[in-house]
Amino acid sequence: MRILLAEDDRFLADGLSLVLKDGGYAVDVACTGVDAENALFETQYDLLILDIGLPKMDGIELLKRLRQRGQKLPVLILTARDRLEDRVSGLDLGANDYMTKPFQLPELEARIRALLRKEQWDNRTDVTFGPLVFNTVTRTPTIGGVSIDLSARELAILEIMIQRLGRIVNKDQITEVLSDWDTEVTFNAIGIAIHRLRKKLEPHGITIRAIRGLGYRIEEESA
């Protein structure tokens, strides 16, 4: 999951991106409205966290233009403005959620998950694949009620595979989800992560098959 954080305050932006990256998301930070818009042109983001008081182009303007262009990604407004009119106008312009600063981090994370769940999982909280149950609320995979311990990167890969069940996921798609501006994930690193993930899943009858030249697909091992 790749998130664009449009926030002009470096202090907050750095802290937030630290927390979100720790949660397994890829995060890019844009400090001005113009930077954010350019980033949205270049990259397919899964979520935009938007501050209203951005320099150069304010968040409201950015949101308006974004929706006019027909970009459908979920937008969460994160702002110090807490007047009712601000909330209403923000949501009416096409934001999906609105939080005021200062906020509780667990709540922010839950709202991000909820927005992504709606977008990516069509609001399902559990996705089942063979013995594997992936809980989209807590982002935890379990098999027979026992959770599988995965690193942030492994989790992100499993997530994208389960999202595209039955389809082949190519390396570019995985790179897009895992990378941000600070860390470009190499194909090699992806290979290593997939190798580890496979080792953790295979004892439970699930494997990730490499299809040469195309990518990867999650499959149930026929016993």
Partner 1 sequence: MVTELKKSQPNKSLRLELRRALLWPLCLLWLVSTCGAYFLAVSFANDSHDHALLNTADSVIARLRADGSRVWADIPPAAQAILRHNDRDRFYYQVISKDGVRISGDSVLPGPYPNLAAREPIFRYGTIDGEEVRVARVRAELDNYSDKIVLVQVAETLHSRQHLAHQILLSIIVPQIFLILLGGVAVYHSISRGLRLLATLEQALIERTKLDLTPLDDKEVPLEVRSLVGAINELLARLRGDLESQNRFVANAAHQFRTPLAGLKTYIYYAKRLLMGDDTGDDPEMRKKQINTVLDQIDSGTDRMTHLANKLLSLAKADHAVSNKATFEAVDLNMIVSEITAELVVEAVKKGLDLEFLCSENPALVMGNPHTLTELAENLIENAVLYTESGGRVLVSVVNTGHVLLAVQDTGPGIPTEEREQVFERFYRALGTDVPGSGLGLPIVKEIAIAHKADVIITSGPSGIGTTVAVTFPAFSENLLVERRENGWQKRREERNYHHPGD
12 binds partner 1 (CB under 8 A): yes
202 binds partner 1 (CB under 8 A): no
Q: List the strands of the sheet with 97-100, edge to edge.
A: 26-30, 2-6, 47-50, 75-79, 97-100
The binder of partner 1 chosen from 6, 8, 76, 112 (CB under 8 A): 8
Using the 8-state DSSP alphabet, how is residue 21 labeled?
H
Q: Say if residues 82 and 89 touch (Cβ distance below 8 Å).
A: no
Least distance to partner 1, CB of residue 85, Å? 11
The binder of partner 1 chosen from 14, 126, 172, 202 (CB under 8 A): 14
163 binds partner 1 (CB under 8 A): no
103 binds partner 1 (CB under 8 A): yes
Amino acid sitting at position 14: D
**211 DSSP β-pair partners:** 215
Using the 8-state DSSP alphabet, how is residue 2 labeled?
E
The binder of partner 1 chosen from 4, 6, 16, 174 (CB under 8 A): 16
Using the 8-state DSSP alphabet, how is residue 81 labeled?
-
Residues that bind partner 1 (CB under 8 A): 8-12, 14-16, 18-19, 22, 31-32, 53, 55-56, 78-82, 100-106, 149, 151
